[in-house]
Amino acid sequence: MEVLAAVVSEHNVPLRVQPVPLPELEVGAILGRVEAATLCATDVHVWHGDLGSKAGQSITPYIPGHETASVVVDVNGERRDLLGEIIKPGDRVVVAYPFCGKCFYCTIAGQPTLCEDSIRYGRERCDLFPYLLGGCAEYHYYPARAEVIRIPDEVSSPLAAASACAFRTIMHGFERLGDIRPNETVLVQGSGPLGLFATAVAREKGARRVLTIGGPEARLEVAKALGADEVLNIADASDAAQRTDWVLGETSGRGADVVIQCVSASAIPEGLNMVRRGGRYVSIGTGPEAVTIPGAIFTNKNLKFASIRSGRAHHFHQALDFLATRKKDIPFDLFISAEYSLSQTTQALEDMASYKIVKPVILPTLA
Ligand SMILES: [Zn+2]
Ligand SMILES: [Zn+2]
């Protein structure tokens, strides 16, 4: 039997919707019917060929999409979710990347998001078993070693899909940051889904003030609704010096205690000028571009700098739980910008690449 999926056969070439084999389930594996897949900047970079090859091997053909909410249709054997409940057909789930559990990073280092042999949804070949490892398809295969998180009833499938990358990475970032003290000012660079979610969580964590830099205006209005005390539109402050002056003006000339970089990595040098001496900087947004940083900035500033790669199952749980419990107060659905069918996946990637759309949702339909 075959099912339909949007397939990248070659980097940078439009995708085609084509049949892909429906795999037999290995013991412990789960088959999900995709309810919604969202795309992030990583999908664009992988499509462009900037990221994603594995040990130098080509990953094409592949099905994009690593942020997916599915309904369980089949489980081979008994599986339990993160909270210990048995997973059954009809459950809505998001599923973490399966880490190998055996490599140096999984065992000795205790940093499984750096696993050298993980399966990375949305960039695995779809001409090899188990074929369905990307969200832009009718069905998704979840290997036995992947941890499963049930989606709370309060959270829509598109929003849950977005939590499967953007929001869980933010939760990982806050874990690395440690406590936010009540006297601290947090600056968020960016007002895309990462930046908006970081704004909401920084507010909830008890920051004294939350500042968000981004655009356009509509997103900054959302940032304010989510708890930003002050926002700066990059359209009104188009050069880095102006933006840095704004942050210094808002922080008695010292800079923010904590800066969370939720835009392209090209914003890191600017962000390092916005964090106070002795402050903390967390780099979350990615990008292939080279950046130049004055060598002395780390020693002069006595900074803590952390970079975040992906997240673990408990970060997914934290993100979904946050969305479910704050749903009444926070307009999270504003994060989700536009819907596309499987056959419009190329358009969705192009719209993301040109910054027209922040968080496209791919629905498993053809028209
Ligand atoms: Zn591993
Ligand atoms: Zn992502």
Q: pLDDT tens, 315-362?
A: 999 999 999 998 777 777 777 778 999 999 999 999 988 877 778 999
Q: Is the pLDDT of residue 52 over 70?
A: no
Ligand 1 mean position, distance from CA 112 (Å): 6
For residue 190, pLDDT beyond 70: yes
Q: Tell me what the mean pLDDT of segment 67-72 comes to.
A: 97
Supply the mean pLDDT for the chain: 93
User: Quick one: what percent of the chain has pLDDT higher than 70?
Assistant: 99
CA 119–ligand 1 middle distance (angstroms): 10
Helix residue ranges, H only, 163-263? 168-177, 193-204, 217-226, 240-250
168-307: CATH topology is Rossmann fold (3.40.50)
Ligand with the closest atom to the CA of 101: 1
Distance CA 190, CA 146 (A): 31
pLDDT tens digits, 215-234 = 989 889 989 988 999 999 99
Q: Which residue carries 């933010």 as its tokens? A: 170
- Please tell me the pTM assigned to this model: 0.91
Whole-number percent of the chain with pLDDT over 90: 82
Whole-number Å distance, alpha carbon 148 to ligand 2 midpoint, is: 18
Token pair 């599915």 is found at 70
Q: How far is the CA of 66 from the centre of ligand 2 (A)?
A: 6
- CB atoms within 5 A of ion ligand 1 belong to 99-100, 103, 106, 115
| 255-272 confidence digits (pLDDT tens) | 999 999 999 899 999 999
Residue 54 confidence (pLDDT): 66
Measure Cα distances from 332 to 162, 213, 297 in Å.
11, 19, 36
The ligand whose atoms approach the alpha carbon of 111 most closely is: 1
Q: Pinpoint the residues of the chain covered by CATH 3.40.50.720.
A: 168-307
Distances (CA, A) of 90 to 59, 83, 93, 328: 32, 17, 9, 25
CA of 299 to the centre of ligand 2 (A): 32
Confidence of residue 192 (pLDDT cuts 50, 70, 90): confident
Q: Which CATH number fits domain 2-150+337-363: 3.40.109.10, 3.40.1640.10, 3.90.180.10, 3.40.50.1970?
A: 3.90.180.10
Question: Ligand 1 center to residue 311 CA distance, Å?
Answer: 13
Q: 365 C-alpha vs ligand 2 centroid, how far in Å?
A: 21
Distance between CA atoms of residues 345 and 325, nearest Å:
32
**Token pair of 271, please?**
């962000």
Number of Cβ atoms within 10 Å of the Cβ of 315: 24
CA 39 – ligand 2 centroid, Å: 7
Cα 168 to averaged position of ligand 2 atoms, centre (Å)? 10
Q: What is the pLDDT of residue 235?
A: 96
Ranges of CATH 3.90.180.10 domains, the chain: 2-150+337-363
